[in-house]
Amino acid sequence: MIEVQATPKHFLGMPVATFLRDYWHKKPLLIRQAFPAFVSPIEPEDLAGLACEEAALSRIVQHDRKRDRWTLRTGPFAEEDFPGMPDHDWSLLVQDVDKWDPDVRALLAHFDFLPRWRIDDIMISFAATGGSVGAHVDHYDVFLLQAKGQRRWQIDAGPNPPQDFRDDVELKLLREFTPTHDWVLDPGDMLYLPPLVPHHGVAENPCLTISVGTRAPSSAELISDYLDTLVEGADEAIRYHDQDLSPPKDAYEIDADAMNRVVEALNALRMRDPDRLGDWFGRFITNYRSVDVTSGEPPRPRIEVEFDLTHRDAALERHPFSRMAWRRAKRDGRLFVSGAEYAMPVRDAKRLAAAEQIDAKIYASLSQVARDAVFDLYESGHYVVSLGEDEG
């Protein structure tokens, strides 16, 4: 099946285990009314306002159908840019809307069957009638939830679809696209696409589409960061050596024995310790777009913050751009926060990674080393003090 109907028990139209086994990272699935009676948490004018923010990542894609020309503009945009836009053939896309809007962020709770560190962001697009970004492929899994209006989605679910890009446009658009499926999605319908499935979405009328994307680092990204870590901690004493050298047949030849010694030298640098490898990956996968998480307010003394937590019903609110994950190490736990690493008991690492807010009860339950980590994160901007309603 490639199209299913959601049920009150299974919003994916099937048990999560079945979806992960048969569809995740394998084949597309259209879920009708995954979110029944869905009400969009954001309006088009809100999205346009966010696209005017300096720190927001936003784009406008326009299509000249007569000439088949595509233009791409990147934000931030000015408020006066939008009233003059035509009523057709353009789209506004804004990344990381979950970081800006708590109602949008709340949608992520529905996707807790995936590791949270695998979820990249929620992108939201507004499209005027006919608006599109062209036929393309993504290199990651994505859930496309229709929020307002109707959008027509076409996909090519055939074997080995063409993947060549056009060389006459700035966007990575497919040179060839032959759809095997064609659907119109209403609010609450959701289309799941695994990586590299060609797809093309066109607005039937002014519409909003919510895209829950996942993070899938390329091999080049992984290798680059991994090698940087290896080089940073490399022992200068580990070098190419040839104590088993025999007289060469040709003094100028780089022979097979020499290359075997090169491989040995490189293997000596590998992270053979699972803890070291795990810590590297935790730092890597939580590092997010090099976003500055500072709150803009100078940190207060620790004694004042702890007093507010204990006596003024305050809480530490996590910065929305702070990505957290945890793992078990040999002797304790590790908390990873936006590329930083903290050793602490597993219980504390697990609790902090999941808590978007730290109140007095949670703070009191933490070990001293975990509290120290929390305050260090507060000073770095990953938390901001939020006073209770009575305190204002």
- pLDDT score of 290: 63
Please answer whether residues 338 and 293 qualify as being in contact, where contact means their C-beta atoms are separated by less than 8 angstroms: yes
Q: Write down the residue that tokens 């899938």 correspond to.
A: 216
Strand partners, 374: none
Strands 199-203 and 151-155 turn out to be antiparallel
Q: Write down the residue that tokens 């499209």 correspond to.
A: 127
**pTM more than 0.85:** yes
Q: Write down the residue that tokens 């751009």 correspond to.
A: 321
Q: Classify residue 243 by its DSSP letter.
A: T
Residues in contact with 177: Cβ distance below 8 Å, sequence separation at least 6, in sequence order = 135, 154, 156, 162, 198, 200
The CA–CA distances, whole Å, from 4 to 34, 121, 147, 231 equal 9, 25, 19, 50
Q: What is the rounded distance in angstroms from the CA atom of residue 303 to the CA atom of residue 203?
A: 55
- pLDDT score of 97: 97
- pLDDT score of 295: 63
Q: Classify residue 186 by its DSSP letter.
A: P
Helix axes 219-232, 274-286, angle to 10 degrees: 120
Inter-residue long-range contacts of 324-331, CB under 8 Å, 24+ positions, other chains counted: 324/286, 324/352, 324/353, 325/115, 325/116, 325/117, 325/282, 325/285, 325/286, 325/353, 326/282, 326/350, 326/352, 326/353, 327/278, 327/279, 327/282, 329/275, 329/278, 329/279, 330/275
Per-residue confidence in pLDDT tens, the chain, 392 aa: 899 999 999 999 999 999 999 999 999 999 999 999 999 999 999 999 999 999 899 999 999 999 999 999 999 999 999 999 999 999 999 999 999 999 999 999 999 999 999 999 999 999 999 999 999 999 999 999 999 999 999 999 999 999 999 999 999 999 999 999 999 999 999 999 999 999 999 999 999 999 999 999 999 999 999 888 888 877 777 788 889 999 989 999 999 999 999 998 888 777 777 888 999 999 999 997 766 777 667 899 999 999 999 999 999 999 999 999 999 999 899 999 999 999 999 999 999 999 999 999 999 999 999 999 999 999 999 999 998 765 44
Cα angle for residues 247, 248, 254 (degrees, 5° grid): 140
- pLDDT score of 55: 87
Q: What is the rounded distance in angstroms from the CA atom of residue 191 to the CA atom of residue 119?
A: 16
Which of 99, 120, 103, 93 shows the shortest CA–CA distance to 208?
A: 93
Exposed/middle/buried for residue 282 (C-beta within 10 Å: 0-12, 13-18, 19+):
buried
Quote the tokens at residue 314: 């305050």
Exposed/middle/buried for residue 84 (C-beta within 10 Å: 0-12, 13-18, 19+):
exposed
How many residues comprise the chain? Answer: 392
| Type and span of the H or E element at 347 | helix 346-354
Q: Is 344 in a helix, a strand, or coil?
A: strand
Please answer whether residues 163 and 137 qualify as being in contact, where contact means their C-beta atoms are separated by less than 8 angstroms: yes
Q: What is the rounded distance in angstroms from the CA atom of residue 254 to the CA atom of residue 248?
A: 9
The CA–CA distances, whole Å, from 392 to 87, 196, 313, 318 equal 44, 50, 11, 19
Strand partners, 340: 337
What domains can be seen in the chain, in order of their start residue?
3-214 (2.60.120.650), 236-268 (no CATH), 302-386 (3.40.366.30)
Q: What is the DSSP code string of 276-325?
A: HHHHHHHHHHH--TT-----SSPPPPHHHHHHHHHHS--EEEEPTT--EE
